[in-house]
Amino acid sequence: MDKWSLRKLHGVLEKALTGDYPDKEDCKYLLNFHEASLEASLTRAAANELIRRKNQNTAIILGQVGICASECEGSCKFCTFGEGHATVAPFRLTQEEIRQKVLSFCDKDDLYGLFLMTMHDYDLYYFLDAVKTAQSVINPLTKVWANVGDSGSPAFREMKKAGIDGIYHVCRLGEGVDTKLNPKDRVKTMEKALDAGLKLYTCLEPIGPEHTPEELVENMFIGIDLHCTQHAAMRRTATPGTPLANKGQISELRLAQIVAVVALAAYNSPNMTHIGVHEPNQLAYVSGANIITAETGANPRDTILETSKNRGMDMAACRKMLLECGFSVYQLQEER
């Protein structure tokens, strides 16, 4: 690295650490470095410093319950539920099963938020019943979020009335090409949720080896421009049986580099609180991420119906990973 290059990199990172966050061109510059380079290492270190300083070195644990699964009309080429290549038998959890799965996250007062996940096409009233079931179990301070398909304003108003705090929704990389969904509809859904008073939790995903820095940055800024409350990065999992499995996946080190750039850029959003990574890994938690998610039920990256028996982490494993990375785990009783 020559002196001019070091001076440029130092300028970009210093801006981020002092509140003048990187723009699209800065982000493309940072993502063009190889993940094993000194430049990428410095970027990760800067993001790690920013996220820990802003959150007093705390990290949060989320839970997600996949409450149903079926062959999905979105036909995402990276998803185990995609129409035409689905490998998991359809199911829908009973309310008692949902209750038990949510309870598995509640052994301590450290479940910051709970996602209830459906397929793209979902039954709103079944979903709202699931919300009531979850609320009967969790700490009242735990936030409940929806991870559902494209929806209209009436559905989001019903969710808001039911006590939903926000939604997880993305306009994916390759939307409309690697999926049968319309990218404009995906963004409209985010806008409708915000208009209904819900918060937006989004992600740069699913990242594959073929995606360029330019593609990554344009997608990343969808959430930033909508003033999302949480942002994240997720690599595409080479799930057996899915059409994109043969394209492989990026390394955890490259994912950590991307997480770092998302963290540095996303803190320009006035609502930003935390940065996530999927799937959880220690490299990302020293590179700007401070959200970890425990999972049970259906999982679009898993070929087993109950992901907690395979890919999904439980609460104990989540706590351990965060503690190994030097974080204090956020405790709900601190707000009381």
- Averaged in consecutive runs of 10 residues, what is the pLDDT profile of the chain (336 residues)? 79 90 96 97 97 94 94 90 84 96 94 96 97 97 97 98 98 96 98 98 97 98 96 92 91 98 90 91 98 87 73 92 96 61
CA 81/CA 89 separation, integer angstroms: 9
- Provide the b/e sequence for 79-98 (b: ≥16 CB within 10 Å): bbbbeebbebeeebbeeebb
pLDDT at 98: 97
Residue 116 identity? L
64 lies in some domain: yes
Domain span at residue 198 reads 19-323
**Is residue 184 a part of any domain in this protein?**
yes
CA-CA-CA-CA torsion sign (171, 172, 177, 180): negative
Residue 1: the pLDDT is 64
Residue 7, domain member (yes or no): no
| Positions of E strands within the chain | 58-66, 68-69, 91-92, 111-117, 143-147, 166-168, 199-201, 204-207, 230-235, 274-278, 291-297, 328-329
Residue 213 in any domain: the answer is yes
| Cα 266 from Cα 325, distance rounded (Å) | 22
Query: To 10 degrees, the CA torsion angle through 118, 122, 124, 129?
Result: -50
The single-letter DSSP state of residue 82 is: B
Whether 151 maps to a domain, the answer reads: yes
299 within a domain of the structure (yes/no): yes
Write the CATH number for 24: 3.20.20.70
Q: Is residue 14 part of a domain?
A: no
Phi, then psi, of 178 in degrees rounded to 5: -85, 0
Reduce the DSSP state of residue 155 to 3 states and report it.
Answer: helix
| CA–centroid distance for 11 within its chain | 29
Number of domains in the chain: 1
What's the CA gap between 122 and 197, in Å, rounded? Answer: 21
| 6 inside domain | no
pTM over 0.75: yes
- Rounded Cα distance between 126 and 138, Å, is 19
At residue 225, the pLDDT reads: 95
| 63 within 8 A of 227, measured Cβ to Cβ | no
